Chains A and B, each alone.
Chain A
Amino acid sequence: MPRAFFFWGIMADKPGFPEILSFSPTGYGDELAWAAAISISIAILAYALGLLIGIIGALGKLGGSELTQKVLHGYTTLVRAVPELILILLLFYAGTSGLNALLAEAGFESITINGFIAGVCVLGFVQGAYSTEVLRAAIQAIPIGQIEAARAYGMSPFLQFRRITLPAMLSFAIPGMANLWLIVTKGTALLAVVGYTELTLATKQAAGNTKMYFTFYIVAGAIYLCVTLLSEQGFGWLERRVRRGQRALT
């Protein structure tokens, strides 16, 4: 009796364990799969937005005027010093109500902002600060002689970036960028706190409805873990590819 009790207690909480995860109308499999797709889409778009901000930010920090550098320094310091959760709450509320105040001022009706877009923008804004630092460090790690040589060949700044800076910095940037991707996939879980139904909140609702907490949280954890492990493989392959021809580390 005790052993059976513990098995049900930990693995399933209640009888009906495998069926509840089915894709049928009574199971939660389809809800979880849909929520996982939303989480991953948000992560991809936020990562892309962060990468865009990061490229502009890194170039601005290295080659911009003194003013640009100060502004970017303020941005990266501020974002990295305040917890992500608080930034998400602030930007989520400030972004929506600020936009509505502006719209009201301009004479338009107020709109409700799509949680998906707001999530992408907020996470992208936070990611941008971290990507800026990663890319800046990667560009600075290129031996200065290589860039001087490119300049001596008379390459235009764009050609120099495409042929020399970009390929040379990739091997320095990819470990950091891989880390940021893992952070953003897990960061999407924070959107559950502002009430947006992505994987974590969908899990919470399903677990609350069925009282099968262990089952659902372990399934959600396994989905996140799969994404992480697959991405690690992908980034490992990418790093080997951009490092080909270079001496091995250590």
Chain B
Amino acid sequence: MNSLKLAAKILIYGTLLIVAALILYWLVFHSRWSWFVEYLPLLIKGLWLTILLLVLSVVLGGLLAIPIGLVQVTGPAPLAWAAKTFCTVIRGTPLLVQLWLIYYGLGSLFPQIGMAYPGFKENFMWLIRLDGFYYALFAFTISFAGYEGEVMRGAFLGVPRGELEAARAFGMSPWKVLTRVWFPRAVRFVLPTLAGETVLQLQSTPLAFTVTVMDLMGVTSKIRQDTFRIFEPLMLLAVLYMCLTFVIVWGFSFVEKMVPQKR
């Protein structure tokens, strides 16, 4: 038994060492990083676009998620049904299909309308010429709203009934109950899950490069096409995304500590 364990240990260490040595060998003797300086300004712009996409879609999608979650709890029934369907459809289809539906579908619809109505073409030229970034932002926002709407529904349901009844007994209007008691309590439930959701959202932003957005991923694929280097840009990209992930996790744990929590 002991010699078996030793053999397994040697095997694992050996494999790890060989893999590490191979990667190191490749990094030292075969990898080329001369493109890095030339593409640094583009990379910084790409990083900025990635962060912009992430922050805007999380903020806008989060705001959109509040009513989506709320109407599922309070009704009226048709709105609740619509919100429920929206969440199911968004969560049940791949983001890539949603993104391409919006980009290619709307992207070809606007010029068609412009063709049929010259007035539309004159007044809404910006809509026809819209950059891929805005389509990506729209797709990511509704995707985040769909996932987060479901979370908000659970959070609104999780607030104890008695607290809402107490607020009503104080004579608060429904709006005041929502802003003073219901919403602040629900947000406390959501806060711990928000870091994970934001990380997942960050991990779906590279899809934007398929609709011509020059985010980090888009710049990387340009580097790959220009220099024919495959691994170096992708490795750099993986490291950058890992750093962004850790920044998000660290940032949210910092915020969570600031918010007073009753245990």
Contacts and interface: CB of A to CB of B under 8 A. Distances in A.
Query: Does B associate with A?
Result: yes
A90 B230 CA distance: 9
User: Do most interface residues of chain A lie in helix, strand or loop, or is the interface mixed?
Assistant: helix
Nearest to A1: B116
B237 interface: yes
Contacts of B109: 9-10, 214
A72 to B, nearest CB: 11
Interface string B215-242: 0010000000000001100110110011
Nearest to A89: B234
Interface in B232-260: 234-235, 237-238, 241-242, 245-246
A217 B97 contact: yes
A81 B246 contact: yes
A94 B237 contact: no
A213 B105 contact: yes
A218 B101 contact: yes
Nearest to A187: B94
A190 interface: yes
A224 B241 contact: no
A220 interface: yes
B52 interface: no
B100 A204 contact: yes
Nearest to A74: B16
A222 B96 CA distance: 14
Contacts of A189: 94-97
B35 interface: no
Contact of B94 (A9, A97, A186, A208): A186
A192 B207 CA distance: 11
Interface in B89-144: 89, 91-98, 100-101, 104-105, 107-109, 112-113, 116
A225 interface: yes
A214 B242 CA distance: 36
B9 A213 contact: no
Interface in A57-93: 65, 67-68, 71, 78, 81-87, 89-90, 93
A224 B105 contact: no
A76 B107 CA distance: 39
Contacts of A213: 100-101, 104-105, 107-108
A85 B230 contact: no
Contacts of B203: 82-85
B74 interface: no
Interface residues of A, number: 45
Contacts of B241: 81-83, 86
Contacts of B108: 13, 211, 213
Contact of A221 (B98, B234, B238): B98
A82 B242 contact: yes
Chain B interface, DSSP helix/strand/loop, else mixed: helix
A5 interface: yes
Interface string A157-175: 0000000000000000000
A182 B95 CA distance: 13
Contacts of B9: 65, 67
Contacts of B107: 213
B242 A90 contact: no
Interface in B3-29: 5, 9, 12-13, 16
Contacts of A87: 238
Nearest to B116: A5
B67 interface: no
Interface in B62-80: none
User: Which of A81, A84, A182 is the most central at the interface, judged by chain B CB atoms within 10 Å of its CB?
Assistant: A81
Nearest to A226: B92
A218 B101 CA distance: 7
Nearest to A221: B93
A87 B16 CA distance: 19
A190 B91 CA distance: 16
A221 B88 CA distance: 12
Contacts of B202: 83
B78 to A, nearest CB: 21
Closest 10 CB pairs of A and B: A189-B94, A217-B101, A228-B92, A83-B203, A186-B94, A213-B105, A213-B104, A225-B92, A221-B93, A189-B96
24 contacts: A13-B112, A65-B9, A67-B9, A67-B13, A68-B12, A82-B203, A83-B204, A83-B206, A83-B241, A85-B207, A85-B217, A86-B206, A86-B217, A93-B230, A189-B94, A204-B100, A207-B100, A213-B101, A213-B105, A213-B107, A218-B101, A220-B97, A225-B88, A228-B91
